[in-house]
Amino acid sequence: MKVNEVPQDITYYEGEKRACYALNDEGRYVVVSSTGWSTEEVVNGLAVEELAAKLEETRKAVLSGAKSPLCYHMERRQMNPEILAKTAGIAVFRLKRHFRPEIFARLNPSMLSSYAQALATTLDELKTVPE
């Protein structure tokens, strides 16, 4: 890749830049800042869309009463049950039970606060999902 071939497509970097290695006119490697590559945007877009779609599905499931808000907040933090269980310090099977709304509703405050701490949310946020 030559310096003038380093992609400068405006993508999702929010003003940040990434370093790329490219050859200058003398054939020496130099570090060039890149604003992003459209190819990268396509594959990243696919992953982001997938996460967003899954989150939206979960949000609807919470509103319809099929899942507890805990499940939504876990996915919002891009966690899976294994990571959240470790962070909150409980067993995975207990965590999964807490995805059931009727069980989540009965949780004691200390359990809830350890979830809130693990997910970096407030207690009120943890009990609801955005409408």
Partner 1 sequence: MTSEITVSGKPFIHHHSAHCESGVISALLRDKGLEISEAMGFGIGSGIFFGYFPFIKWVGLPISTFRSRPGTLITKVAKRLGGDIFTKKYRNLQKGMDDLRHALSEGHLVGLTTNIYWLSYFPNRFRFQFNGHNIVVLREIENGFRVSDPVLEHLVDCLTEDLERARFARGPLEPRGFMYYVKSVPSNPDLRAACIAGMKDSCNMMLRIPFPFVGIRGMRYLAKKTISSPDKLGFKEACRRLANIVRMQEEVGTGGAGFRFMYAAFLQEAADLFASAELSQLSKEMTAIGDIWREFAVVSARIVKQRAQSEETFEKAGGLMLICAGREEQMFRDLDKIARTLKA
User: Which residue of 25, 26, 64, 78 would you call a contact of partner 1, by CB under 8 A?
Assistant: 78
Q: Which of 33, 66, 94, 122 binds partner 1 (CB under 8 A)?
A: 33
CA atoms within 13 A on the CB side of 43: 4
Helical ranges in 11-108 per DSSP H: 38-63, 69-76, 81-88, 92-97, 101-104
Q: Let me know: does 7 contact 38? Beta carbons within 8 Å.
A: yes
Site for partner 1 contains 122 (CB under 8 A):
no
Smallest distance from partner 1 to CB 4, Å:
14
Decide if residue 91 touches partner 1 (CB under 8 A). no
Q: Which stretch binds partner 1 (CB under 8 A): 8-16, 65-73, 90-98, 101-109?
A: 8-16
**Residue 79 binds to partner 1 (criterion: CB under 8 A):** yes
Angle separating helix axes 69-76 and 109-119, nearest 10 degrees: 20
